[in-house]
A = this chain, B = another copy of it.
Amino acid sequence: MSIDKIMKPKAIAIVGASGVPCKVGNEVMKRIREYGFKGEVYPVNPKGGEIEGYQVYTDIASIPGEVDLAVLVTPPKAILQNIDECNAKNVKGICVISAGFKEVGGEGVEMERELLEKVQKYGMRMVGPNCVGVINCAPNIQMDASFATTLPIKGDVGFISQSGALGCGILSILKDINIGFAQFVSAGNQADINAEDMLDYWENDADVKQILLYMESIVDPKNFREKAARITKKKPIIAIKAGRSKAGASAASSHTGSLAGADMAADALLKQAGVIRELDLKTMFETAQAFAKCPLPKGKRVAIVTNGGGLGILATDALEDNNLEMAQLSESTKEYMRSFLPAAASVKNPVDMIASATMEHYQKCIEACIKDENVDAVIVIYLELMGAKPIEMAKAIMETRGRYPDKPVLGMAMTTSDFFPRLSEEAGELNMPWYAYPEEAAHALARLYRQKQWQDKPDGQIKTFNVDKARTAEIIKGAVSQGRDQLTTLESIDVLEAYGIRACRYGMGKDVEEAVKVANSIGYPVVMKITSKTITHKTDVGGVVVGIQSEEHLRNEYTALIERLRSANILDGLDGVIVQEMVKGSREMVCGIATDPQYGPMMMFGLGGVFIEVMKDVCFRIAPLTDADADEMIKSVKSYELLEGARGTKPAQIEQIQETLLRLSQLVEDFKFIDELDINPLLISEKTGEGIAVDGRIKVRMDEAKAALG
């Protein structure tokens, strides 16, 4: 695989290498030398001579050996020719650091197109352009081919950053946050290699134990989802997806559309793929630290060991905030700790050893908590007070932790900030993560637990139901041929029924006999509504009659209706009546489909009725849905409690609602030109607990629909 040529090269050419300080071509040469690249280094510069102790070649052709990776730092106008020269030399790995391409617009866009064309034609793979470079910290490679000012620190993280500057900044803080990289790719404009390629590349790379992503866009959401969902079952992916702005949500006409802000789609996609999304860099690194140094916990029961009561309380609050639990320590654990701790100490979780706590106290309490069967993880809090020095204390704690590697132990130290860089300098390889505040430890631990739950969760299945595609196509075609991109309510209900979705039953009756026939087939009670070309406000003329209980009742109401219309002199336009099943229920849910311009169709489920926009108690997932997705959607809204049958209502048929979502998902997979769909309300029948589509609206994208339906 040719990404190997970039990430694990035996020989590198730096085209545009320079001896002039502060030039990018010089910085890259310095990093390569300083970090001690294990392969051959061939600087290329027409002036020749020597740079950073390496012999310079005047052009690519004159390099004596084979070259795996060419790092290009020449001016943008020279790049295309460089690529040709690389090809002549049979170089397959390219990293274009130089900027001046798509990001500047105009002819830069054109140049980037040509660049990609050449790269593809020559069978090369390329990182960049407009990037900071690539790094591999493996001991047999030791490549820092970047112009970041700080050398990397070795670790287990594979990191790809879409922002170059951010990548540089991050390298400079690695030491302070005790995070190390296995490999780092500054993706730049991602003309060829993007985050998804690196996911593939890192999936089975043993050096990379967790993958960190900084993304501003996802190139191919479907592809990303598929890959990430597979990889996250093996190793965690932690991502920042920046650009969460609300702009753009207001244009949609449906409920589903108007609630589907730009970030809903990205957020849904990441959830479905099992990616841990963090909203800021600091939290991403704190989480990565935990994954680097901890096994996954088997449960969520946490013991806290502290020498300061206040921090113990703050940690307890933080655990609750993160949906973790305070472990109930066993009696024997408590008794044991009571045997050596001072009387004023508390052996109930949080274990407060008080300010006089010694190294021995720490070691014995941590050991006791780890060994306790009621404990899944331990958070150790150390406040610098009189007595033991922080680094010595941390070493003692890590010594204990080293003897019990099977449960996660996370440390928190309140002391001067130089503790953190000093710790890895003085204590060598850390066997547990260290944080500055209890909330950080609690959040990171919660992420470990979430990953455990994700890995244990069975893969979801995309189900396929028997549906009437032909009928659906016909209905939509009918609307489109009349120039309508919106289906009528009745057409929409027909489409839902063709897809086996339980909708409110109805029928048309041109006269009373037909109306009775329809009503008898639906079953009482029913609702009767007039349909008339001339009357727009049905209720003003008593044109909607609810609660019709029997055939006799219907006949009477029909007669009365005709009478009312006749006396108001508006009988003429009458087409007949719609007779509709009357569903009784107080719980109005909503489900629907919205289309994100980039992520495609996504599904919504939640609380409907008047509360839909006010409460925004809805959940989104990208289509197609798996059964697990649908199940999660239903259970993740607050109003799920109502479905379960809160306050004496009939429990809803959760599986039937789940199937409704899956059938909708199938509908939009089959008819990709469906732009928006609302079922509002999806009324929960008080009689059967079914979710019944009482109202529906469907909107298609006209041109696509015409093209697809012929």
Q: Determine whether the beta carbon of B169 is less than 8 Å from that of A613.
A: no
Residues in B neighbouring A147, C-beta threshold 8 A:
386
A689 to chain B, nearest CB (A): 16
Q: A686 within 8 Å of B by Cβ?
A: no
Q: A484 within 8 Å of B by Cβ?
A: no
Residue of A161, A384, A416, A614 with most partner-chain B CB within 10 A:
A614
Q: A244 within 8 Å of B by Cβ?
A: yes
Which chain B residue has the least Cβ–Cβ distance from A610? B647
Against B, the Cβ 8 Å flags (1 = close, 0 = not) of A297-318 are 0000000000111110110111
Which chain B residue has the least Cβ–Cβ distance from A438? B280
Against B, the Cβ 8 Å flags (1 = close, 0 = not) of A641-654 are 11000110100000
Q: Determine whether the beta carbon of B165 is less than 8 Å from that of A320.
A: no
Decide: A165 near B641, CB < 8 A? Known: A175-B416, A243-B313.
no
Q: Once the chains are docked, how many angstroms separate the CA of A99 from the CA of B354?
A: 11
Q: Determine whether the beta carbon of A166 is less than 8 Å from that of B320.
A: no
Q: Determine whether the beta carbon of A387 is less than 8 Å from that of B420.
A: no
Against B, the Cβ 8 Å flags (1 = close, 0 = not) of A197-214 are 000000000000000001
Q: A599 within 8 Å of B by Cβ?
A: no
A616 to chain B, nearest CB (A): 8
Which chain B residue has the least Cβ–Cβ distance from A246? B320
Residues in B neighbouring A421, C-beta threshold 8 A:
417
Which chain B residue has the least Cβ–Cβ distance from A215? B310
Decide: A168 near B385, CB < 8 A? Known: A611-B611, A615-B639, A638-B614.
yes
Q: A176 within 8 Å of B by Cβ?
A: yes
Residues in B neighbouring A614, C-beta threshold 8 A:
638-639, 641-642, 646
Q: Determine whether the beta carbon of A282 is less than 8 Å from that of B243.
A: no
Residues in B neighbouring A24, C-beta threshold 8 A:
386
* A156-215 residues at the B interface, CB under 8 angstroms: 161-166, 168-170, 172-173, 175-176, 214
Q: Once the chains are docked, how many angstroms separate the CA of A458 from the CA of B548?
A: 57
Q: Once the chains are docked, how many angstroms separate the CA of A590 from the CA of B126?
A: 62
Q: Once the chains are docked, how many angstroms separate the CA of A288 from the CA of B649?
A: 50
Q: A343 within 8 Å of B by Cβ?
A: yes
* A367-396 residues at the B interface, CB under 8 angstroms: 383-387
Q: A355 within 8 Å of B by Cβ?
A: yes
Q: Determine whether the beta carbon of A104 is less than 8 Å from that of B344.
A: yes
Q: Once the chains are docked, how many angstroms separate the CA of A100 from the CA of B355?
A: 13
Q: A454 within 8 Å of B by Cβ?
A: no
Q: Once the chains are docked, how many angstroms separate the CA of A421 from the CA of B176?
A: 14
Q: Once the chains are docked, how many angstroms separate the CA of A529 from the CA of B686?
A: 24
Contact of A149 among B385, B616, B649 (CB under 8 A): B385
Residues in B neighbouring A245, C-beta threshold 8 A:
316-317, 320
Q: Once the chains are docked, how many angstroms separate the CA of A307 from the CA of B164?
A: 11
Residues in B neighbouring A649, C-beta threshold 8 A:
610
A145 to chain B, nearest CB (A): 15
Residues in B neighbouring A438, C-beta threshold 8 A:
280
Residues in B neighbouring A638, C-beta threshold 8 A:
614-616
Residues in B neighbouring A611, C-beta threshold 8 A:
611, 615, 639, 642
* A314-339 residues at the B interface, CB under 8 angstroms: 314, 316-318, 320-321
Contact of A308 among B165, B386, B641 (CB under 8 A): B165
Contact of A418 among B104, B418, B439 (CB under 8 A): B418
Decide: A320 near B646, CB < 8 A? Known: A313-B216, A355-B164.
no
Q: Once the chains are docked, how many angstroms separate the CA of A307 from the CA of B165?
A: 8
Q: A519 within 8 Å of B by Cβ?
A: no
Q: A34 within 8 Å of B by Cβ?
A: no
Q: Determine whether the beta carbon of B310 is less than 8 Å from that of A162.
A: yes
Q: Once the chains are docked, how many angstroms separate the CA of A383 from the CA of B161?
A: 15
Q: Determine whether the beta carbon of B646 is less than 8 Å from that of A610.
A: yes
Against B, the Cβ 8 Å flags (1 = close, 0 = not) of A243-261 are 1111000000000000000
Q: Once the chains are docked, how many angstroms separate the CA of A172 from the CA of B436?
A: 12
Q: Once the chains are docked, how many angstroms separate the CA of A311 from the CA of B587?
A: 44
Q: Determine whether the beta carbon of B311 is less than 8 Å from that of A169.
A: yes
Q: Determine whether the beta carbon of A163 is less than 8 Å from that of B309.
A: yes
Contact of A646 among B280, B417, B613, B616 (CB under 8 A): B613
Residues in B neighbouring A175, C-beta threshold 8 A:
416
Q: A281 within 8 Å of B by Cβ?
A: yes
Residues in B neighbouring A169, C-beta threshold 8 A:
308, 311, 383-385, 414-415
Q: Once the chains are docked, how many angstroms separate the CA of A437 from the CA of B103?
A: 25
Residues in B neighbouring A161, C-beta threshold 8 A:
310
Q: Determine whether the beta carbon of B311 is less than 8 Å from that of A176.
A: no
Residues in B neighbouring A420, C-beta threshold 8 A:
417
Q: Determine whether the beta carbon of A165 is less than 8 Å from that of B309.
A: yes
Q: A708 within 8 Å of B by Cβ?
A: no
Q: Once the chains are docked, how many angstroms separate the CA of A308 from the CA of B344?
A: 52
Q: Determine whether the beta carbon of A385 is less than 8 Å from that of B165.
A: yes
Q: A27 within 8 Å of B by Cβ?
A: yes
Q: Determine whether the beta carbon of A414 is less than 8 Å from that of B172.
A: yes
Residue of A214, A279, A385 with most partner-chain B CB within 10 A:
A385
Q: A551 within 8 Å of B by Cβ?
A: no
Q: A568 within 8 Å of B by Cβ?
A: no
Q: Determine whether the beta carbon of A417 is less than 8 Å from that of B176.
A: yes
Q: A617 within 8 Å of B by Cβ?
A: yes
A209 to chain B, nearest CB (A): 24
A610 to chain B, nearest CB (A): 5
Q: Determine whether the beta carbon of A386 is less than 8 Å from that of B149.
A: yes
Residues in B neighbouring A308, C-beta threshold 8 A:
163-166, 169
Q: Determine whether the beta carbon of B172 is less than 8 Å from that of A416.
A: yes
* A234-290 residues at the B interface, CB under 8 angstroms: 240, 242-246, 279-282
9 tightest A-B CB contacts, nearest first: A163-B310, A165-B308, A169-B414, A166-B310, A176-B417, A169-B383, A242-B313, A280-B439, A614-B641
Known interface pairs A173-B417, A417-B418; 8 further A-B residue pairs with C-beta atoms within 8 A, sorted by A's residue number? A149-B386, A165-B309, A165-B383, A166-B383, A280-B314, A611-B615, A614-B641, A615-B639
A-B contact pairs, 24 of them (CB 8 A): A100-B344, A149-B384, A163-B309, A163-B313, A165-B310, A166-B414, A169-B384, A169-B415, A173-B414, A173-B417, A176-B416, A214-B310, A240-B314, A242-B314, A279-B317, A279-B321, A280-B314, A280-B318, A282-B439, A417-B417, A417-B418, A610-B646, A611-B642, A615-B638
Point out residues on A near B: beta carbons under 8 Å.
Answer: 22, 24, 27, 99-100, 103-104, 147, 149-150, 161-166, 168-170, 172-173, 175-176, 214, 216, 240, 242-246, 279-282, 307-311, 313-314, 316-318, 320-321, 343-344, 355, 383-387, 414-418, 420-421, 436-439, 586-587, 610-611, 613-617, 638-639, 641-642, 646-647, 649
